[in-house]
Amino acid sequence: MEHEEVVHAHGHENVTAEHESTFEVTTDDYLTPAGDCILAVEADRAPTDFDPTFMTACQDPDATITAMFEVAGRTEIVTGRGHPDLDFGSERGAVGRTSTYVDERTIMVEADKAAADFDREMVEALEEGAKLTLTLTVEA
């Protein structure tokens, strides 16, 4: 069965997307240059807002979680896995990780891309404040 969550956010002048092991979308309304994993700010939803059935499906270690990022007519797809320790407890950030590390912000592990792997034209659009739509899908 497939479950879906949609998050809307937008870029920021300090988006660099240079982090090599994570990506993040945050509800924060600011971004410092140190936040090199953050792709977008002012997200309208955080992991705590996701439907419980979505969260439960993501806790299956065999689940495939897909994150589709749509920005300025460009699309980037990231595929990762579920993990039993995912708790979606963060009220601020949604983080995808290439590792198996899990904390309250983690929405997928073993992601096949991090912020540094994103299309540079998409990153430039985000740096100019473009709108981002993130669609998360889980198949368990």
User: How many other CB atoms are there within 10 angstroms of residue 48's CB atom?
Assistant: 14
pLDDT recorded at residue 140: 83
11, burial (CB in 10 Å: exposed 0-12, middle 13-18, buried 19+): buried
Looking at residue 97, the DSSP 8-state letter turns out to be E
**Partners of 68 in the beta sheet?**
77, 135
Read off the pLDDT band of 107 (50, 70, 90).
Answer: very high
Average pLDDT over residues 51-80: 97
Q: Token pair for residue 119?
A: 């299309």
Asked if pLDDT for residue 1 goes beyond 80, the answer is: no
Read off the pLDDT band of 126 (50, 70, 90).
Answer: very high
Question: Mapping DSSP to helix (H, G, I), strand (E, B) and coil, where does residue 125 land?
Answer: helix
The pTM (predicted TM-score) of the whole model is 0.96
Give the Cα separation of 23 and 96 in Å (integer). Answer: 5
pLDDT recorded at residue 124: 98
Domain 2-139, second-level architecture: Sandwich (2.60)
For the chain, report the end-to-end CA distance as a whole number of angstroms.
6
pLDDT recorded at residue 118: 98
CA distance to 50, 112, 114, per residue, from 17 (Å)? 25, 15, 8
One-letter amino acid identity for 29? Answer: D
